[in-house]
Amino acid sequence: MNLDPELYGTKIIPFVNVKTFLQETLPQLEFSRDYEEEVVLDAGCGTGGTTFHLVLPLFPQLENLYAIDALPNMIHNAEICNSHPMIEYSVADIEKWPTVKKWECQITKLVSIYCLQWLKDAKKGFRNIYRLLKPGGKAAICFPTQSIFYEAMKEMENNSKWRSYYKEVGEYISDAHLNKRNDSYYEQMVKEIGFEIVYLNEVSANDAFSSDEAYKNFFSSICVVLPHVPVNKKEEFKNELFEEMIKLGGRANDGLPIHKSTVIHLDTGDYLPDSHVNKRNASYYEQMIKEVGFEILHLKEESTADVFSSEEVYKNLYSSICVVLSHIPVNKREEFKNELFEEMIKLGGSSSDGLPVHRSIAIELVIRKNEQ
Ligand SMILES: C[S@@+](CC[C@H](N)C(=O)[O-])C[C@H]1O[C@@H](n2cnc3c(N)ncnc32)[C@H](O)[C@@H]1O
């Protein structure tokens, strides 16, 4: 792999779908909560623009943000152009365990943007991510599976003018693109490793770039064939790659070039509250509240069996608090709501008059702030 950090640029990755994932989807999923001290790792940070401008602001309570890349020249540029006291850049390869082992079980949140498509063995990468995470830790990952970039590259390989330079590179198409991997392929892979999936979405992305220049530079920077093209032919190669991609992706109404791709957006981790996952009981909260300084006037732990007035009310209430629902495509939401309802009925049952019952353990609490 030989990528060009100069052409790549040092700003945020120029894909609208990535911005949406980091700035809208993850906050909606409560990927980070402002009361948690986070130790974050950004895998495949490139020149650090995304790390600095989009990943760092996700975490209000940050202890450390480690940002790694397999290429020393990427890290070099990141340190110069996107340095920040909370970000520690270093060269490490997410596919090679000895290079990342020092963070084993320490990472509370791992982010990886447009990196995993580069891996020879994606499962190895996911397994390493799992080993890096602290129990209960989460990973937010996004990478393209299909891209017109690879189609344009294949087209150019057919041209005898360029074919010989391809021979020096070997396989240049990602496994995901070559083998048409889809979301269920990755779903199965990450579940086998032991992850729980909070959110998985396969997005058809039409990302418009800010200019022809930005588009051409970005794709030239990640084109592994370009370093093998003689200097006096590089401009011609870049222009042809650009033209091929425009043929496939087209332009927006305002003339800006579009990159068409399929992208996986993935959030793994726990979507259940800490109280449920860790089976917190009354004495846990008693101690916590006393430590804060409150006086406890009433504390009761109760097993409840609440009968709802109708199936509709029951279904609506639990759909309204289900954080996954807003990420289900509109045409599948009713099916999701019905299945959630059926699962809950299996567990909670119905009353003698056929009304749905919700069973839970609840804490009742009345506390007073001390006088002094
Ligand atoms: C398309 S860039 C994305 C960079 C950055 N995340 C961003 O949003 O701009 C992909 C980066 O992943 C890095 N990379 C590829 N394979 C890697 C690996 N096995 N371990 C760490 N970094 C890797 C590449 O060097 C490159 O800088």
pLDDT for 194 equals 83
- 313 C-alpha to center of ligand 1: Å? 48
Tokens of 261: 């791709």
Ligand 1: residue of 4, 82, 118 to mutate (most ligand atoms within 8 A of CB) is 118
Query: What is the per-residue burial (b if ≥16 Cβ within 10 Å, else e) of 282-302?
Result: beebbeeeeeeebeeeeeeee
Residue with more model confidence, 1 or 63: 63
pLDDT for 20 equals 92
Encode pLDDT of 281-291 as tens digits. Answer: 889 888 888 88
Q: What 8-state DSSP symbol labels residue 371?
A: -
- Count of all residues that appear for the chain in the document: 372
pLDDT for 274 equals 66
Residues 173, 179: Cα–Cα separation, whole Å: 10
DSSP for 33-81, please give it: -TTS-EEEEEES-TTSHHIIIIIGGG-SSEEEEEEEES-HHHHHHHHHH
State the Rg of the chain over Cα.
25
**Could you tell me if 32 and 69 are in contact, meaning their C-beta atoms sit under 8 angstroms apart?**
no
Encode pLDDT of 98-119 as tens digits. Answer: 999 999 989 999 999 999 999 9
- 323 C-alpha to center of ligand 1: Å? 30
DSSP for 240-262, please give it: HHHHHHHHHH-B-TTS-BEEEEE
* CA 90 to chain CA centroid, nearest Å: 21
- 222 C-alpha to center of ligand 1: Å? 10
Task: Indicate the pLDDT class of residue 372, thresholds 50, 70 and 90.
Answer: low
Encode pLDDT of 178-221 as tens digits. Answer: 999 999 999 999 988 888 888 899 999 999 999 999 999 999 99
Q: What would the mean pLDDT of 39-61 be, rounded to a whole number?
A: 96
pLDDT for 289 equals 84
Encode pLDDT of 90-103 as tens digits. Answer: 999 999 999 999 99
**Could you tell me if 163 and 281 are in contact, meaning their C-beta atoms sit under 8 angstroms apart?**
no
